[in-house]
Copies of this chain bind each other. A is one copy, B any other.
Amino acid sequence: MTSDYFQFKVIHQSKKSRARVGQIITPHGVIDTPNFVPVGTNGAMKGVDSQLLEKSNVQLMFCNTYHLMLQPGEEIVANAGGLHTFMNRTQPIITDSGGFQVFSLMYGGVASEIKSKGTKSHNNSIVKISEDGVTFRSYRDGKMIHLTAETSIQAQKKLGADIILSFDELPPYHIDAAALKKSFDRTHRWEERSLIEHKKNPNNQALYCIVHGGIDDNLRKTSVEILKKLDFDGYAIGGSVGKNREEMILMLQNLMPHMPYNKPNHLLGIADLPSIEQSIPLGIDTFDSSHPSKCARHGKLFTENGDLNILRSGNNQRFEPISETCDCYTCKNYTIAYLNHLFKAHELSAYTLATIHNTQFITNLMKNYREKILNDLL
């Protein structure tokens, strides 16, 4: 798939699985795939400024349109010269449509909706959902906001990320077949409208569609068939991906062979280490999630030997880095004992240093996966 400003190349197809090494080429640089995409919701990764993040080998960063629309507002970002200039990031950025956050607010968050078995009462921030789009109330100032395929794409044009996402509805996990089908059909109409709006002003941006269908294999297959007829630059897998990893992997096993081979495939919102390991052989190219940085802020640090709980007793006298082989800023400069102390003293730099480590650990892990694929070992 080629355009002036966006390309995806498969560099090597593993002989062992559907895993592939590729390159996504964007106006702000190359993303080697498979790769991890950390989340900087507000145009900033929590605790790590943009320049420091670029030193952690992060090739693509995920920002949330919903949050940026509410604060500072897409107009201010546009006046700054776009998101790259505003946050001083020179490398590629992807934004979502805002739909995910609006709808997940409605269910009080994806994880808690799944746990609630569908009994979770709805949040009243959403005022109205119609064929046109969704109307909700800003949590910041109570202002009414009307989000549609068109307004979401227009906002993403103003933010100016390299990759943008179609506007979609996030149906809950606990949904009956009829309601899922209704949401499914509307979501695909919204995606087509997103594409039409995008084509009016491509703005050197690539538009990804979002494959829906929950954990219904036939719906997932149908979704890909519908979307393949349209000219999207990449394919994200969204909607509910199941109540646990097993359900998600089963769904992906059935879905991935139907995905277009020559377009990048992104798995939305999932990047825990076991899910990455199991999804790469199925052909997933990029993974975004705030999970690694949340772990970091809770003192759960990634190592080759599993997670290190920095607050565990005994860690106050370990005068060695988190990982002897890690080349991150934190491991090059600080010991487990010092990090244990910073966490116990509630020092802000604890969160920064832990986040840098987990982020670079996972980007390094991705590099290792790419090397394995190049050698047909994965």
What is A's interface to B at a CB cutoff of 8 Å?
A: 42-51, 67, 71-72, 76, 79-81, 86-88, 316-317, 319, 329, 333-335, 337-338, 340-342, 344-345, 347-349, 351-353
Contacts and interface: CB of A to CB of B under 8 A. Distances in A.
A317 to B, nearest CB: 6
Contacts of A337: 72, 76, 80, 86
Given A88-B334, A352-B352, A347 B46 contact: yes
B76 A344 contact: no
Contact of A333 (B46, B88, B335): B88
21 contacts: A42-B341, A42-B342, A42-B345, A44-B347, A45-B349, A46-B348, A47-B352, A49-B349, A49-B352, A71-B344, A72-B316, A72-B340, A76-B337, A79-B317, A86-B335, A86-B338, A88-B333, A88-B338, A348-B351, A349-B352, A352-B352
A69 to B, nearest CB: 12
- A interface, over-half SS: helix
A85 to B, nearest CB: 8
Nearest to A75: B317
Given A345-B42, A352-B348, A87 B338 contact: yes
Nearest to A46: B348
A50 B352 contact: no
A82 to B, nearest CB: 12
Contacts of A48: 349
A216 to B, nearest CB: 37
B345 A44 contact: yes
A51 to B, nearest CB: 5
Contacts of A43: 338, 341
A79 B81 CA distance: 51
A76 B349 contact: no
Contacts of A335: 80, 86
Given A87-B338, A333-B88, A338-B87, A319 B80 contact: yes
Contact of A47 (B45, B71, B349): B349
A71 B348 contact: no
Given A316-B76, A334-B88, A71 B341 contact: yes
A334 B341 CA distance: 30
Nearest to A347: B44
A22 to B, nearest CB: 31
A299 B17 CA distance: 53
Contact of A348 (B319, B333, B348): B348
Given A43-B338, A79-B319, 10 more contacts: A44-B347, A47-B348, A47-B349, A51-B333, A71-B344, A72-B340, A72-B341, A76-B316, A80-B335, A88-B338
B342 A50 contact: no
Contacts of A50: 333
